[in-house]
A = this chain, B = another copy of it.
């Protein structure tokens, strides 16, 4: 039986009739080369925002320009129902999927499209952020075996009540990987407007190199730390079900040589991969991740008693504020400083919660914080078996006279919080120190 491949195309790749026809020609090439093909498209770029904008306007009576359509009947406090939002938003992928089927047919390829509920892709009932529970492969296999390209809407499924659900922003990546897992696909190719995963952001470090391979654990760290190429849940799915996933460019010529296309981009692998994602020759770390989305908060002189961490973070969680790094140092004379980071947008709210509900309760001295921070991380499976990674990182930052305000580590990454004005400098220095800079004239790593 011929090998099964899943392609996923993002909103930019599906952004116009011309681009949809380009996608069709690319898929047709793969189909004609003998692969069984399943394609998962996103909505045409801009469409999801258009639909959600209409929904918001229908709820409030205010247009996109913020002006009331009919002031006498405006309902500014109203919020659109999540169930109806999903029913509305899901149409974007239904349209792009149907259009892709039509474009494929125009090029002589038998194709059929299915909305998530038709497959069905079953999810829980958490509207706007549903999780996939199961995918029935029977209908899809029947059509594949009949020689058809099968197109499945990204981003959506159906719950046990028969209501349409969506998986949240970027959910089409997750749909594609989940479909690839359910069908035991050979590989899941995520076509996007970047040509792979880089050792760091090329806009910050021009010498950044494309990684031919990255492990899914590294990808998780890189994604959650700000190198946003794939939705993080799709990477988790890929890891859980061992789906070989490749990120590659949709901007190349659809007629390019298939063998070259098939080995382009970045392949997300698993450490167990017998091909060896990390051989002796490869760098110990895979990349430098960074973000400046966070703010740090510290409670000073917290009495070091059992349960104090919960008494600090419980009210924060109750206020629906996500916490990233948490640092509690060893105590001196029965007191410690307790620090954590939150998203910068929630910094003020977190401070208010702490002052109102926590400060007195735990008997801390004061709440201090700083929103002008950045987090810089070195990421790499390789560091597991190498000593000295942390010290090289700290030495490099010290040489640039960059003060480290917080440190946190995991098995495959070390993160440092620094003043945000030093972020680019830190990233460039670390990228060079860890041997990630491309040789002059070199673009991308060899494969």
Contacts and interface: CB of A to CB of B under 8 A. Distances in A.
Interface string A60-80: 110100000110010100101
A102 B73 contact: no
Report copies per complex.
Answer: 2
A224 interface: no
Given A81-B105, A102-B84, A105-B81, A70 B18 contact: yes
A37 to B, nearest CB: 16
A57 interface: yes
A85 interface: yes
A149 to B, nearest CB: 12
A79 B24 CA distance: 15
Contacts of A162: 118
Nearest to A90: B94
A84 to B, nearest CB: 4
Contacts of A101: 81, 84
A20 interface: yes
8 contacts: A54-B99, A55-B98, A59-B103, A84-B101, A84-B102, A85-B102, A87-B94, A88-B94
A98 B87 contact: yes
A84 B106 contact: no
A21 B70 contact: yes
Contacts of A118: 162-163
Nearest to A57: B17
Given A88-B94, A91-B91, A112-B83, A102 B59 contact: yes
Nearest to A54: B99
A60 B162 CA distance: 36
Interface in A1-33: 17-18, 20-21, 24-25
A60 B94 contact: no
A115 interface: yes
Nearest to A19: B69
Contact of A84 (B57, B83, B98, B164): B98
A51 B44 CA distance: 12
A91 B102 CA distance: 16
B102 A69 contact: no
Q: Considering residues A17, A73, A81, A117, which has the most beta carbons from chain B within 10 angstroms of its beta carbon?
A: A17
A135 to B, nearest CB: 15
